[in-house]
Amino acid sequence: MIEQLVVGARIKIGKSYAEKFGGFNEGEVITLVEGFFDYDNGLYMETQTAPSIWNKEQGEFDSIYHLFGNDIEDFLDCTILK
């Protein structure tokens, strides 16, 4: 599944996901964009990218890992649309 969570993928939010995590409505469709993140590798800061959505309230990107967990274990009943 993670191979399908790429920039441009459209994801329909499921009922269980919306109830558990909030911030989204059941049936809402999000589209992944390329998000930019600062990363401290111990020597210096570098910018990394990941499929993401823009979080207007926080003024930063939420990557697929923020949204669905590091192993995508929180994807629950969301659906990748074609």
Residues 19-76 pLDDT 10s: 999 899 999 999 999 999 999 989 999 999 999 999 999 999 999 999 999 999 999 9
The confidence score (pLDDT) of residue 63 equals: 96
> Do 80 and 35 form a contact (C-beta atoms < 8 A)?
no
User: Looking at residue 2, what is its pLDDT?
Assistant: 82
pLDDT score of 1 more than 90: no
Q: Please list the alpha-helical segments (H only) found in 1-82.
A: 15-21, 64-68
Q: Is 51 helix (H, G, I), strand (E, B) or coil?
A: strand
Q: Is the dihedral of CA 65, 70, 72, 74 positive or negative?
A: negative
pTM of the predicted model as reported, rounded to 2 decimal places: 0.89
Give the contacts of 18 (CB within 8 A, at least 6 positions apart): 24, 25, 26, 28
